[in-house]
Amino acid sequence: MFITTETGILSPRERSKQYVKRGVMKAKMFRIILAAGLLTCLSLAGCGSHHSKSAPQPQPDTTSGSPDSTGGIKPPPFRPVMIVLKNTNHCIAPQGGVQYGAALRLSSCEPTDLNCKWLYNSSNRMLVSAANQELAINAWNGATDGGELRLHNGCTPSNPDCTWTWKNGMLVSDKNPHLAIRADGALLRLSHMCSPTKPECMWSQRER
> What is the residue type of 139?
A
- What pLDDT, in 10s, does the model give residues 134-154? 999 999 999 999 999 999 999
Structure-derived torsion over alpha carbons of residues 152, 158, 163, 165, reported in degrees to the nearest 10: 170
Domain containing 171 — which CATH number?
2.80.10.50
Question: What does the pLDDT look like over 46-75, one tens digit per residue?
Answer: 444 444 444 443 333 333 333 333 343 333
pTM of structure:
0.62
- Domain assignment present for 69: no
Say yes or no: 14 and 100 in one domain: no
What's the structural domain count of the chain?
2
Question: Containing domain of residue 19, as a range?
Answer: 3-41
89 and 192 within one domain: yes
